[in-house]
Amino acid sequence: MILVDEFRDRDVALRIARVIGAEARPERSYAFMEFCGGHTHAIFRYAIEDLLPANIRMVHGPGCPVCVLPIGRIDAAIALAGQPGVTLCTYGDVLRVPGSHRRSLLKAKAEGADIRVVYSPMDAVKLAQASPDRQVVFLAVGFETTTPPTAVVVLEAERLGLANFSVFCNHVLTPPAIAAILDSPEAQGGALRLDGIIGPAHVSAVTGSRAFARFPRDYGQPVVITGFEPLDVLQAILMLVRQANAGRGEIENQFTRGVTEDGNRHAQGLMARVFESRETFAWRGLGQLPASGIRLRPEFAAWDAERRFSLPEPEAEPPTACRCGAILRGLARPADCRLFGTGCTPDNPIGACMVSSEGACAAEWAYGRARHRGKETA
């Protein structure tokens, strides 16, 4: 199909990789963070790091919404699903995320809780319409890509006067998370050096590339808004190498086919109508980040599960050997975790990074091991 296959051409990829190799200066190194889990997935799936010269390193960022969901919110969702009359709907990735005591929605479902996987939040609205005797709660997660759809279904529930539908909102915002990484003591102190950021194309399709302009401006960090196919990622790496070589820190848009400076104004308007900023929200790995999460506005209280149901206070997170937190902050790699592949696998995940295909540990498990094995025997 046009727009996909052409951006996976192996011959072009190898040639662009050679251009990157020629332009990367041998006397220095480059570390680029891909913020978004979709990029992490693409980088592993297409083994992009293997095409790059040794002095270019990709640092995986926190942009996997399932991975950053804190344990307390999973515990709250499990408790919610256990209340009589409640049917909890969510995206498939969320089910296996471990909460406290290694409980998950999947285990709660196996024990009899009514938990359903939906592809679209609209399916949850339809389910509520079809089951008037159930309280249908949609567990909403994700960045600015899944937020506008949630806004649409809240407005739809209002229009329909649906009394048995509500949203447990866990939506988070991309720019505050990038800021948190750049403001972290590690980044400030030099333990985490970044020479550029691969910015998320689909989030930017909604927010506009403008939402990321502050990172070049305030931090001097080059940002390239990048598509998710291998040629997109390679072109963006070349653009970042060129910015770094020239000492520039600018926002550039590689994904011109879907991203403008302004983004989708209509979607932004719907989000602003339905949601308001939370003072603070907890992220797995990053901790409490101010103004990084959103909730339903008081006008939509009737559809806000947090106001309609009483939810448990989050328990303190017990210390574990899981390095997810450090991985999400760009400070460790999956192979640095001693549970990786032994105590922790996709079938039996300890941390959230092993759950979603966009998580660094799951991607390393799916695509990275074969590569390492290949290297050992080569």
Partner 1 sequence: MCLGLPMIVVELRPGDVALAEYEGVRKEVSVALLAGDVAVGDFVLVHVGFALSKIDPERARETLALLAEIAGLEAR
Work out what residue 350 binds among partner 1, ligand SF4, none; the CB cut-off runs from 5 to 8 Å by kind.
ligand SF4
d(CA 114, CA 164): 15
Residue 101 CB partners (closer than 8 Å, separation 6+): none
Helices of type H across the chain:
10-23, 37-45, 48-51, 65-68, 71-81, 105-110, 121-130, 147-160, 174-183, 185-189, 201-207, 214-219, 230-246, 265-274, 305-308, 324-328, 360-363, 369-377
Footprint on residues 91-110 left by partner 1 (CB under 8 A) = 91-93
Site mask for ligand SF4 (CB under 6 A), range 343-362, x = bound: -x-----xx-xx------x-
Question: By CB under 8 A, which span of 73-81, 146-154, 165-173, 282-290 interacts with partner 1?
Answer: 146-154
Work out what residue 337 binds among ligand SF4, partner 1, none; the CB cut-off runs from 5 to 8 Å by kind.
ligand SF4
Q: Does 64 bind partner 1 (CB under 8 A)?
A: yes
Nearer to ligand SF4, 263 or 349 (CB): 349
* CB-based contact 53:276 (threshold 8 Å): no
| One residue of 58, 105, 162, 231 binding partner 1 per CB under 8 A | 231
In this structure, what token pair is assigned to residue 7?
A: 């951006």
Residue 315 CB partners (closer than 8 Å, separation 6+): 71, 72, 75, 100
In this structure, what token pair is assigned to residue 282?
A: 């907890």
* Pairing relationship of beta strands 196-200 and 294-296 according to DSSP bridges: unpaired
Cα end-to-end distance, the chain, whole Å: 35
Bridge partners, residue 276, by sequence: 295
The number of residues that bind partner 1 (CB under 8 A) is 55
| One residue of 177, 339, 358, 363 binding ligand SF4 per CB under 6 A | 339
Q: Does 325 bind partner 1 (CB under 8 A)?
A: no
Residues 169-206 as b/e (b if ≥16 CB within 10 A, e otherwise) read bbbbbbbbbbbbbbebeebeeeebebbbbbbbbbbbbb
Site mask for partner 1 (CB under 8 A), range 281-320, x = bound: ----------------------------------------
- Residue 262: CB minimum distance to partner 1, A: 11
| One residue of 95, 327, 331, 363 binding ligand SF4 per CB under 6 A | 327
Nearer to partner 1, 97 or 305 (CB): 97
The number of residues that bind ligand SF4 (CB under 6 A) is 14
Work out what residue 351 binds among ligand SF4, partner 1, none; the CB cut-off runs from 5 to 8 Å by kind.
ligand SF4
Among candidate residues 31, 124, 125, 66, the one with its CA nearest the CA of residue 349: 66
- Residue 47: CB minimum distance to partner 1, A: 18
| One residue of 324, 328, 331, 363 binding ligand SF4 per CB under 6 A | 324
- Specify the length of the chain in residues: 378
Q: Does 66 bind ligand SF4 (CB under 6 A)?
A: no
In this structure, what token pair is assigned to residue 24?
A: 């990367």
Element (H, E) at 165: strand 165-171
Site residues (vs ligand SF4, CB under 6 A):
322-324, 327, 334, 337, 339-340, 344, 350-351, 353-354, 361
Site residues (vs partner 1, CB under 8 A):
1-4, 6-7, 11-12, 15-16, 19, 36-38, 41, 64-66, 91-93, 119-123, 141-143, 145-146, 148-149, 152, 202, 205-206, 228, 231-232, 235, 238, 254, 256-259, 263-264, 266-267, 270, 356-358
